Amino acid sequence: MRFGIFVLVAISILIFTHAQAFADEQSDAVCKELENMGVVRIDEDSKRVFMQMQLEQISTPRKARSILRSVQDLVEKCRSSWGNTWSVSFFIESKYAGYKDEPQILDSIANGNWAQSYIGEYDRKSNKLTLNPSVPRKLKSFMAVLP
- Could you tell me the CA-to-CA distances from 131 to 26, 27, 90 in Å, in that order? 35, 32, 9
**Which pLDDT belongs to residue 15?**
53
What is the per-residue pLDDT across 92-107, written as a single tens digit (0 to 9) for each?
A: 999 999 999 999 999 9
What is the per-residue pLDDT across 68-85, written as a single tens digit (0 to 9) for each?
A: 999 999 999 999 999 999
Closest among 17, 92, 91, 6 to 48, alpha carbons compared? 91
What is the per-residue pLDDT across 7-50, written as a single tens digit (0 to 9) for each?
A: 555 555 545 544 444 334 445 676 876 567 899 999 999 999 99
Compute the residue count for the chain.
147
Cβ within 8 Å of residue 52, ≥6 positions away: 38, 40, 90, 91, 92, 93, 94, 97
The Cα 93–Cα 112 span in angstroms is: 13
**Which pLDDT belongs to residue 25?**
42
| All structural domains of the chain with their residue ranges | 1-36, 39-143
Q: Is the full-model pTM beyond 0.75?
A: yes
